[in-house]
Amino acid sequence: MSTIDAGEPSPELDDAEAQMRRLDLFRRAHAAVSDLTWGENVSVYDVLQVARFLEEKEEN
């Protein structure tokens, strides 16, 4: 039986994983913002601010 040597991850895989992490972060931020009661409409900028906050917390 032959073995497959996967070797190092390709740059494309690293890019795809980074995009998936950012997408997951955005989804979590959107869910957090959507669950709150707001006096006015929530914009995408609000969601992005929450995503930045979550990203900073993950880095620490």
Q: Alpha helix (H) ranges present in the chain?
A: 11-35, 44-59
pLDDT value at position 24? Answer: 92
pLDDT value at position 20? Answer: 92
pLDDT value at position 1? Answer: 62
Residues in the chain with pLDDT values less than 50: none
- The tens digit of pLDDT for each residue in 40-52 reads 777 888 888 988 8
Residues 6+ apart with CB under 8 A from 7: none
